[in-house]
């Protein structure tokens, strides 16, 4: 099934007709006859969309939308209201109460199904980001949401420059958002710029062929990396169900069939901007969680979890191509003395500077990770034992020859590191799959590090892994 839809209507004939249309498009259809029943069904079944009549025996579409919003498990379900009369005031009231869209019978099948697909597509996307955000929060990797919303940028796109100027001016006076206007050609050029709109309002001409050509702007917006998450509101100056259906299937977020109305457009734009900001917050939280899963928060280096998985991947690739790489373990000498003498804040600053120095001496393809308090893992692909040893010795000189400045006391302190180097070889790379090859290489590098510490620190020792 393509999705689960709850139909809410007291008239059985209406429910049956709509169910046949939706079922023929492979939707799983649920039914309810009142707001109270609909809320129970929605809570239990979690539909992807609710389609409701304007008026119900115990309340109306706005009350149903409000009831869904009060339950966490149903708050994000979109609501589409379908009614008998084209009452502008009633439409604006329902939009203001959270109803996603309002259609008036008879609704052509192509337009109805396109709107259903559009709303369910948006719901699936919203659910996916919420699940990722929930996972990040479960592991304590997400940031708190800010309630502050900066003004958005709305661009009204129309080839009728006079009409466009009038409507854009009215929107500027009514909204707190920035409103710009452009022609279709200018809007395409705008996609190459650095400052991109949050929402495009695409005003179509009456001529169907021209309108279809204008809709190609939607494809360009969705294909552009900077605007693929921008909102798109399509405005028809004369209703055309086929053109409207095509616009929604191309990726428009909303559709105004009945021409320009300032208040209605303001409500629809506010809804689009709200959804866009919410999605941006969720993407930011998920990205923050991903960074926390990969990077060490203090130094910005990779963490142990990521480093070990990356080392395993490198071993697999090296086994197939018969290439070699070096694994190094670097440990700061007598680091505890820094913490004891200057405090843990000073120790943290030394670790941050250590990370910078390590990165400065390595290539972009090399990997450096913090895997313990003052212990670092370095992986240098495509190298020989001689070259790897020279890299490690250069790293030692980088620390030995340039004292660290302790910020709290402006004291210069010489800090050294010891490095153990292990080279991969064909015997290690071709061990049975069940063997932990990464752990074996780490163990060999650790033995080399122990040898460097035993020889007085501030030096490099190389070992080759045994078969």
Is residue 331 in a domain?
yes
Please check whether residues 92 and 231 belong to one and the same domain: no
CATH number of the domain that residue 422 is part of: 3.30.70.270
d(CA 40, CA 287): 35
- What local confidence, expressed as pLDDT, does residue 437 receive? 84
* Beta carbons of 54 and 60 less than 8 angstroms apart: yes
Choosing from 107, 133, 152, the residue where a domain stops is: 107
Is the pLDDT at 235 greater than 90? The verdict is yes
Is residue 130 in a domain?
yes
pLDDT band at residue 325 using 50, 70 and 90 as cut-offs: very high
For 6, 245, 372, the CA distances from 254, given in Å and listed in that order, are 21, 11, 51
Rounded CA Rg of the chain: 31
pLDDT digits (tens, 9 = 90+) for 80-101: 999 988 889 999 999 999 999 9
Is residue 230 in a domain?
yes
Number of domains in the chain: 3
- What local confidence, expressed as pLDDT, does residue 195 receive? 81
Please check whether residues 43 and 180 belong to one and the same domain: no
pLDDT band at residue 467 using 50, 70 and 90 as cut-offs: very low
Please check whether residues 365 and 332 belong to one and the same domain: yes
Q: What is the mean pLDDT of residues 415-440?
A: 79
Is the pLDDT at 62 greater than 60? The verdict is yes
d(CA 136, CA 27): 32
- Name the nearest CA neighbour of 326 among 374, 389, 397: 389
Facing residues of 392 across strands? none
- What local confidence, expressed as pLDDT, does residue 135 receive? 47
Please check whether residues 178 and 67 belong to one and the same domain: no
Instruction: Return the higher-pLDDT residue of 460 and 435.
Output: 460
- Name the nearest CA neighbour of 153 among 92, 194, 121: 194
Is the pLDDT at 143 greater than 80? The verdict is no
Please check whether residues 347 and 433 belong to one and the same domain: yes
**What would the 3-class secondary structure string for the chain be?**
CCCEEEEECCCHHHHHHHHHHHHHCCCEEEEECCHHHHHHHHHHHCCCEEEEECEECCEEHHHHHHHHHCCCCCCCCCEEEEECCCCHHHHHHHHHCCCCEEEECCCCHHHHHHHHHHHHHHHHHHHHHHHHHHHHHHCCCCCCCCCCCCCCEEEEECCCHHHHHHHHHHHHHHCCCEEEEECHHHHHHHCCCCCCCCEEEEEECCCHHHHHHHCHHHHHHHHCCCCCCCEEEEEECCCCHHHHHHHHHHCCCEEECCCCCHHHHHHHHHHHHHHHHHHHHHHHHHHHHHHHHHECCCCCCECHHHHHHHHHHHHHHHHHHCCCEEEEEEEECCHHHHHHHHCHHHHHHHHHHHHHHHHHCCCCCCEEEECCCCEEEEEEECCCHHHHHHHHHHHHHHHHCCCEEECCCCEEECCCEEEEEEECCHHHHCCCCCCCHHHHHHHHHHHHHHHHHHCCCCCEEEECCCC
Choosing from 64, 86, 107, the residue where a domain stops is: 107
Is residue 298 in a domain?
no
Please check whether residues 428 and 356 belong to one and the same domain: yes
pLDDT band at residue 201 using 50, 70 and 90 as cut-offs: very high
Please check whether residues 81 and 115 belong to one and the same domain: no
* Beta carbons of 230 and 196 less than 8 angstroms apart: yes
Is the pLDDT at 425 greater than 80? The verdict is no
Please check whether residues 68 and 10 belong to one and the same domain: yes
Is residue 436 in a domain?
yes
- What local confidence, expressed as pLDDT, does residue 158 receive? 94
Facing residues of 31 across strands? 7
Is the pLDDT at 312 greater than 70? The verdict is yes
Instruction: Return the higher-pLDDT residue of 297 and 464.
Output: 297
Is the pLDDT at 190 greater than 70? The verdict is yes
Q: What is the mean pLDDT of residues 195-204?
A: 93
Q: What is the mean pLDDT of residues 421-433?
A: 72
Is residue 98 in a domain?
yes
* Beta carbons of 8 and 83 less than 8 angstroms apart: no
Is residue 299 in a domain?
no
Other beta carbons less than 10 A from residue 388's beta carbon = 23
Phi and psi dihedrals of 423, rounded to 5?
-100, 135
Reading the block at residue 174, the tokens are 């009514």
Please check whether residues 366 and 391 belong to one and the same domain: yes
Please check whether residues 283 and 342 belong to one and the same domain: no
CATH number of the domain that residue 42 is part of: 3.40.50.2300
- What local confidence, expressed as pLDDT, does residue 128 receive? 63
Is residue 4 in a domain?
yes
Choosing from 293, 325, 340, the residue where a domain stops is: 293
Q: What is the mean pLDDT of residues 287-308?
A: 86
Which residues constitute the domain of residue 309? Answer: 304-463
Is the pLDDT at 138 greater than 50? The verdict is no
Please check whether residues 129 and 188 belong to one and the same domain: yes
Average pLDDT, the chain: 89
Is the pLDDT at 349 greater than 60? The verdict is yes
Residue with tokens 């008036």: 104
- Name the nearest CA neighbour of 82 among 37, 49, 43: 49
Please check whether residues 174 and 287 belong to one and the same domain: yes
């Amino acid at each position: 099934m393509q999705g689960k839809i709850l139909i809410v209507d007291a008239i059985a004939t209406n429910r049956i007709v709509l169910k046949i249309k939706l079922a023929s498009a492979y939707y799983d259809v649920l039914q309810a006859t009142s707001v109270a029943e609909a809320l129970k069904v929605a809570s239990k079944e979690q539909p992807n969309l609710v389609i409701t009549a304007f008026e119900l025996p115990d309340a109306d579409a706005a009350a149903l939308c409000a009831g869904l919003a009060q339950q966490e498990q149903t708050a994000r379900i979109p609501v589409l209201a379908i009614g008998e009369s084209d009452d502008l005031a009633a439409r604006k009231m329902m939009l203001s109460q959270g109803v996603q869209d309002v259609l008036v019978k008879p609704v052509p099948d192509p337009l109805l199904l396109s709107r259903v697909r559009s709303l369910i597509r948006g719901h699936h996307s919203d659910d996916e980001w919420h699940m990722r955000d929930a996972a990040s929060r479960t592991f304590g990797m997400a940031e708190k949401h800010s309630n502050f919303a900066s003004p958005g940028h709305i661009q009204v796109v129309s080839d009728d420059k006079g009409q466009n100027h009038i409507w854009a001016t009215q929107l500027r006076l009514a909204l707190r958002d920035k409103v710009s206007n452009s022609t279709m050609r200018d809007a395409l050029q705008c996609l190459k710029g650095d400052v991109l709109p949050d929402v495009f309002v695409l005003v179509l001409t009456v001529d169907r062929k021209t309108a279809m050509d204008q809709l190609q702007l939607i494809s360009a917006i969705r294909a552009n990396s900077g605007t693929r998450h921008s909102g798109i509101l399509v405005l028809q100056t004369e209703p055309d169900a086929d053109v409207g259906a095509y616009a929604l299937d191309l990726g428009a977020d909303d559709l105004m069939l009945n021409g320009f109305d300032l208040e209605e457009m303001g409500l629809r734009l506010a809804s689009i901007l709200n959804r866009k900001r919410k999605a941006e917050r969720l993407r930011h939280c998920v990205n923050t969680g991903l960074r926390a899963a990969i990077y060490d928060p203090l130094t910005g280096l990779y963490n142990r979890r990521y480093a070990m998985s990356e080392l395993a991947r490198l071993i697999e690739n090296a086994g197939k191509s018969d290439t070699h790489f070096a694994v190094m373990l670097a440990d700061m000498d007598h680091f505890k003395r820094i913490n004891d003498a200057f405090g843990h804040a000073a120790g943290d600053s030394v670790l941050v500077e250590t990370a910078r120095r390590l990165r400065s001496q390595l290539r972009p393809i090399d990997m450096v990770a913090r895997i313990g308090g003052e212990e670092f893992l370095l992986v240098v692909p495509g190298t020989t034992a001689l070259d790897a040893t020279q890299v490690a010795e250069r790293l030692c000189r980088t620390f030995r020859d340039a004292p660290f400045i302790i910020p709290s006391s402006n004291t210069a302190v010489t800090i050294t590191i010891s490095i153990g180097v292990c080279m991969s070889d064909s015997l290690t790379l071709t061990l049975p799959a069940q063997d932990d090859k990464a752990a074996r290489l780490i163990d060999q590098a650790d033995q080399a590090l122990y040898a460097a510490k035993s020889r007085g620190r501030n030096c490099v020792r190389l070992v080759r892994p045994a078969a």
